[in-house]
């Protein structure tokens, strides 16, 4: 079924069949590139950590984000890095499986995240058309889109997020999504409610806590610091099945966990959009 997400077993399910659980800390980028675009195995939870590097001359404005997967033995394995491009009219992040090469022409270029002028809508593209050496990579296949909206309380309360993913086949593979025109994009299809073969997800609504005087979500110990950027992504049919969660644990450290039908590339792109969104400012 295209819109089947998974069973309701809470975020604390086991890591059985996690494709990253046995990956070597010295895994080469070509191994990683294959894994990051695949949906998480059904029944598994992929636990990750994002670190933000703001050191250097321009890192304050253009920090680099590093995604590591947390293995069951406690070791962390690098998966992806992302950095905002300079001199772009809209926010544009390049995502690579090589932390030393965040260029669009790099061999390990995996995809990009691009925003609209307002910084309220984002699209994640992969590198489907190949990135062979000497070949200019192209990004035509949309793998996710994120829409941010203000809430009725304005900027101080929790913002509303909508996440769009291409649908899944009965064999649990992703439906290719290559728009032939801008009117066929995930976001434009969502606006016209032409949602065939598209999965629509939302952030779980936080609950107001009188004791802390803040909006809270239950992250089961994975998030330790309050932030308006903390979120959980669910499907309206089953709000207890947490497909993705993201939150702060230190000034520049965040946890990011995801499940089927999401991939590492999709989840990392969604997290990058949260850092960038103009509606996510504290």
pLDDT tens, 41-80? 899 999 999 999 987 656 557 889 999 999 888 889 999 9
Tell me the β-bridge partners of 65: 52, 82
Phi and psi angles of residue 231, each rounded to the nearest 5 degrees, phi first: -155, 160
Asked if residue 21 is part of any domain, the answer here is no
**Torsion-angle region of residue 150: left (phi > 0), alpha (psi -120 to 50) or beta?**
beta
Asked if residue 19 is part of any domain, the answer here is no
CATH number at residue 145: 3.20.90.10
Asked if residue 13 is part of any domain, the answer here is no
Asked if residue 168 is part of any domain, the answer here is yes
Number of domains in the chain: 1
**What pLDDT score was predicted for residue 22?**
60
Structure tokens at 108: 């390990």
- pLDDT band, residue 10 (cuts 50/70/90): very low
**What pLDDT score was predicted for residue 233?**
97
**What pLDDT score was predicted for residue 107?**
77
Asked if residue 11 is part of any domain, the answer here is no
Query: CA-CA distance, 143 to 175, in Å (whole number)?
Result: 9
Mean pLDDT value across residues 249-276: 95
Contact status, residue 232 vs residue 258, Cβ threshold 8 Å: no
**What pLDDT score was predicted for residue 141?**
93
Sign, CA torsion 73/77/79/83: positive
Asked if residue 23 is part of any domain, the answer here is no
Sign, CA torsion 14/19/20/21: positive
- pLDDT band, residue 25 (cuts 50/70/90): low
Q: At which residue do the structure tokens 């010295």 appear? A: 26
181 vs 150: which has the higher pLDDT: 181
237 vs 15: which has the higher pLDDT: 237
Asked if residue 141 is part of any domain, the answer here is yes
Q: At which residue do the structure tokens 């590097």 appear? A: 53
**What pLDDT score was predicted for residue 150?**
76
What is the pairing mode between strands 198-203 and 207-209? unpaired
- pLDDT band, residue 281 (cuts 50/70/90): very low
Mean pLDDT in the chain? 82
> If DSSP codes are grouped into helix, strand and coil, which group holds residue 79?
strand
Asked if residue 273 is part of any domain, the answer here is yes
Mean pLDDT value across residues 3-15: 40
Query: CA-CA distance, 164 to 190, in Å (whole number)?
Result: 8
What's the 3-state SS for 128-178?
Answer: CCCCCCCCCCCCCCEEEEEEEECECCECCCCCEEEEEEECECCCCCECCCC
Model pLDDT for residues 79-93, shown as the tens digit of each residue? 999 999 887 778 899
Model pLDDT for residues 210-257, shown as the tens digit of each residue? 888 777 888 988 998 878 788 999 999 999 999 999 999 999 999 999
Write out the residue range of the structural domain in which residue 273 sits.
Answer: 29-280
Q: Is the pLDDT of residue 131 over 80?
A: no
Mean pLDDT value across residues 127-134: 58
Model pLDDT for residues 137-147, shown as the tens digit of each residue? 555 899 999 99
35 vs 200: which has the higher pLDDT: 200
């Amino acid at each position: 079924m295209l819109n089947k997400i998974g069973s309701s077993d809470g975020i604390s399910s086991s890591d059985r069949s996690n494709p990253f659980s046995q990956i070597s800390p010295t895994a080469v980028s070509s191994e990683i590139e294959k894994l990051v675009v695949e949906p998480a195995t059904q029944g598994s939870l992929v636990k990750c950590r994002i670190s933000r590097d703001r050191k250097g001359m321009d890192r304050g404005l253009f920090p680099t984000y590093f995604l590591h997967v947390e293995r069951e033995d406690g070791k962390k394995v690098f998966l992806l890095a992302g950095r905002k491009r300079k001199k772009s009219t809209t926010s544009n992040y390049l995502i690579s499986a090589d932390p030393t090469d965040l260029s669009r022409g790099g061999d390990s270029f995996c995809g990009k995240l691009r925003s609209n002028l307002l910084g309220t809508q984002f699209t994640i593209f992969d590198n489907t058309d190949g990135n062979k050496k000497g070949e200019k990579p192209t990004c035509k296949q949309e793998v996710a889109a994120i829409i941010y909206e203000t809430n009725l309380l304005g900027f101080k309360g929790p913002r509303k997020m909508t996440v769009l993913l291409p649908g899944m086949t009965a064999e649990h593979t992703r439906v290719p999504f290559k728009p032939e025109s801008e009117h066929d994009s995930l976001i434009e299809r969502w606006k016209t409610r032409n949602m065939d073969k598209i999965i629509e997800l939302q952030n779980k609504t936080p609950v107001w806590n009188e004791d802390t005087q803040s909006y809270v979500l239950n992250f089961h110990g994975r998030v330790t610091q309050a932030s308006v950027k903390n979120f959980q992504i669910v499907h309206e049919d089953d709000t207890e099945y947490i497909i993705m969660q993201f939150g702060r644990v230190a000034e520049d450290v965040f946890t990011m966990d995801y499940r089927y039908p999401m991939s590492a590339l999709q989840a990392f792109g969604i997290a990058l959009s949260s850092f960038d969104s103009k509606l996510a400012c504290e």
